Structure 1
Amino acid sequence: MGAHEEPIESRSPDEHLPPIEQRVLNDIIKAIYEQRLRPGTKLGEEALASAFSVSRARIRRVLLTLSHQKLVDLIPNRGAFVIKPTGSDARDIFNARRSLEDLVVERVAAHPEPATIRRLRAHVRSEVAARHRGQRREAIRMAGEFHVTLARQSGSRVFLSILEPVLSQCSLIVSIYGGGLMPSCPVEEHQSIVDALAEGDAEQARHLMREHLIHLEGTLRLEVEDEQEPDFASIFQ
């Protein structure tokens, strides 16, 4: 932050934002996932306020929410930056994710309710449709949301609250470093996991999930190139 900028006020990560701030939040998250905002990009309050035609106070609240979601680093006396995970960070995040998703699939497999399986299969069908339409970014987003949906179906608010920020970071890492023309999270692997869950086979579901996440991590290219100062007005037009 500059010398005359006010500190970002405290706000609970669970507190809902007003609609205008939610719109700004959603647009920034989308720009991060679509690689229009690169890792390490400084999110200047004044430039963002101008791009969105809102006050800096609103931007500060949005940036704080992004920091709770682990998508932005707030650095005292410097400002807000899109997170720039290192290779070591990525490995640690995926290690934590594997352990957490083990617990999720075990919980879902223990009681594979028909409604749960229907929701998961419907999500997989939507992933397939996005891929067939050639909507790579949409397919990547939905691939990440499959895991959020699975966590919700576990019925554990604790699992979901712990896993959501980890999944957000993984989605960002995959979006930035995945490379290639198709999503790095194969929909066929999602389908196999759902099939195992439908059978109540926790051991197979855990095995498939671990193989899936190992495969996903193996597709990553963790080099980061330096970028020029972003033009927020162009990015968010």
Structure 2
Amino acid sequence: MTAEKCTEEQDQGRDAGIYEQVFDAILEQRLVPGTRLSEDKLGQLFGVSRTVVRKVLLRLEHEGVVTTHRHKGAVITHTTAAQAKQVFAARRALELEVVRNACAGMEAAQFAHLRSLIVEEQAAIDGGDKGRALRLSGELHLYLAEYGGNAFLAGFMRSLVSRCSLIIAQYEATDRHSCPHSEHEAILDAIEAGDEALAVQLMAVHIQHIEDKIDVREKPAAPDLTVIFAQP
């Protein structure tokens, strides 16, 4: 392997590592809509150049979770109420296909891995670590898509799962309960039993429960000061 090739692979590995850290922060809702992603600041935090950071941000922008503004720079994407409904509609359609693919055949080791994620998710819930529980839940859905064998579908799912996490962070209603973690286990049980109809039904209910956690009504904009202080 040439030195140039080695350096290229090291750069790619470094880019991927930074991307994964930012992606995990989105799943854990540590990065929320409107957060500014300064290239200089991220470069300092990760010890890389702005060029490396820019490549990571471009990938995240391609996935729809980062938006670049001309004067403000890169920020975590804000989602309108209409867009939120569209994202969940798209995710529902893809998740049902993910389940169908998974029912076509998964290996025992893959089921074991997914069940270990459920155990970790429950431990995070019991320990009050909401961010970690959210990330593990998202990872379970992503691995299920990957194990289904359709790489394109798995790629689309990555974008939708991260986008849904941002939507929940933006619109989550505090008076609404989280969906039971046991739903993941029931879905896996149905897939492992080869009961496609039941697995699809359970996944549809599960995605609906996730969507039910949010209130996607647009928040009223703050009135203009001119209106507030207008003379009668």
Q: TM-score by structure 2 length?
A: 0.77
Deviation at 1:175, TM superposition (A): 3.9
Deviations 1:19-61 (A, max 9, x none): 5544543443344444444312332333444455543222212
Q: How does 1:139-218 map to 2 (within 5 A)?
A: 139-178=133-172, 180=174, 184-218=178-212
Tell me whether 1:106 sits opposite 2:108 in the alignment: no
What is the alpha-carbon distance in structure 1 between the residues aligned to residue 207 and residue 170 of structure 2?
17
Partner in structure 2 of residue 4 of structure 1: none
Q: 1:181 to 1:53 in 2, by over 3 A?
A: farther
Deviations 1:86-124 (A, max 9, x none): 111111111111111111111212335433332322221
Q: 1:76 to 1:146 in 2, by over 3 A?
A: same
Unaligned runs of 5+ in 1: 1-14, 227-237
- Return the letter of the residue paired with 1:203: A
Deviation at 1:133, TM superposition (A): 2.0
Q: Percent identity?
A: 36
Tell me whether 1:63 sits opposite 2:50 in the alignment: no
Counterpart of 2:37 (choices 34, 43, 46) is 43
Query: Is the helix fraction higher in 1 or 2?
Result: 2
Determine if contact 1:178/1:184 at 8 Å carries over to the other structure.
no
Residue range with higher mean Cα deviation, 177-186 or 87-96: 177-186
Partner in structure 2 of residue 91 of structure 1: 85
Q: 1:184 to 1:176 in 2, by over 3 A?
A: farther
Determine if contact 2:176/2:213 at 8 Å carries over to the other structure.
no
Residue range with higher mean Cα deviation, 123-132 or 89-98: 123-132
Q: 1:41 to 1:123 in 2, by over 3 A?
A: closer
Unaligned runs of 5+ in 2: 1-8, 222-232
What is the alpha-carbon distance in structure 2 between the residues aligned to residue 225 and residue 20 of structure 1?
42
Partner in structure 2 of residue 73 of structure 1: 67
Determine if contact 2:36/2:73 at 8 Å carries over to the other structure.
yes
Determine if contact 2:32/2:169 at 8 Å carries over to the other structure.
no
- Return the letter of the residue paired with 2:120: S
Determine if contact 2:102/2:191 at 8 Å carries over to the other structure.
yes
What is the alpha-carbon distance in structure 1 between the residues aligned to residue 31 and residue 153 of structure 2?
29
What is the alpha-carbon distance in structure 1 between the residues aligned to residue 63 and residue 10 of structure 2?
13
What is the alpha-carbon distance in structure 1 between the residues aligned to residue 53 and residue 95 of structure 2?
33
What is the count of residue pairs matched by the alignment? 212
What is the alpha-carbon distance in structure 2 between the residues aligned to residue 196 and residue 60 of structure 1?
43
What is the alpha-carbon distance in structure 2 between the residues aligned to residue 113 and residue 38 of structure 1?
36
What is the alpha-carbon distance in structure 2 between the residues aligned to residue 142 and residue 23 of structure 1?
18
- Return the letter of the residue paired with 2:156: I
Determine if contact 1:131/1:139 at 8 Å carries over to the other structure.
yes
Q: 1:146 to 1:180 in 2, by over 3 A?
A: farther
Of the two, which has the highest radius of gyration?
Answer: 2
Counterpart of 1:123 (choices 117, 125, 129) is 117
- Return the letter of the residue paired with 1:140: L
Q: TM-score by structure 1 length?
A: 0.76
Determine if contact 1:151/1:160 at 8 Å carries over to the other structure.
yes
Q: 1:141 to 1:78 in 2, by over 3 A?
A: same
